[in-house]
Amino acid sequence: MASAAALAERGQPLWPPHSLTPERLARHYPDSGWRVAWQNGQAVGTYVLLHRDELFWPDDAPGTALYLHKLAVHPDAQGGGLARLLLAEAVHETRRLGMPFLRLDTASDRAKLRGLYDDFGFQNVGERQVGAYHVVLYSLGV
């Protein structure tokens, strides 16, 4: 929530605050999918992994990939490489589970975030309009 608030304060809102309530997150993302990075007892980063993503990747057959959502780093922990570390952990888990791809989507107007994914090695594999969101689809063979 702190990451979303910081982005909104900079005039770059990513996730509407109403979409980040525990109730709404629980509806869309199972507890078992969440990963949290801790530092000195404080949550400093997170993401969620899904085994299916029918909204953004409707043509993928089951077992094709893991799907990463809600990557976030607390503002106090930004700039130290934590986002790359979280991505590396997601890749490790994808490999461990025997999935051939790690996939994600991001808003098309997020140049900095897209740069992170590009630099990490994700391939831009297309764009999609999902409701009000125009997203870029990224895939990484693991």
Task: For 22-32, write each residue's pLDDT tens digit.
Answer: 677 667 788 89
Supply the pLDDT for residue 22: 64
In terms of Cβ atoms closer than 10 Å to its own Cβ (0-12, 13-18, 19+), residue 105 is buried
Greater confidence, 133 or 117?
A: 117
Supply the pLDDT for residue 29: 82
Domains of the chain, by residue range, sit at 2-104
DSSP 90: H
Segment 66-92 mean pLDDT: 96
**pLDDT cut 70: percent of the chain above it:** 82
Q: Which CATH number, 3.40.50.150, 3.40.228.10, 2.160.20.10, 3.40.630.30, labels domain 2-104?
A: 3.40.630.30
- Confidence at 72, pLDDT banded by 50, 70, 90: very high
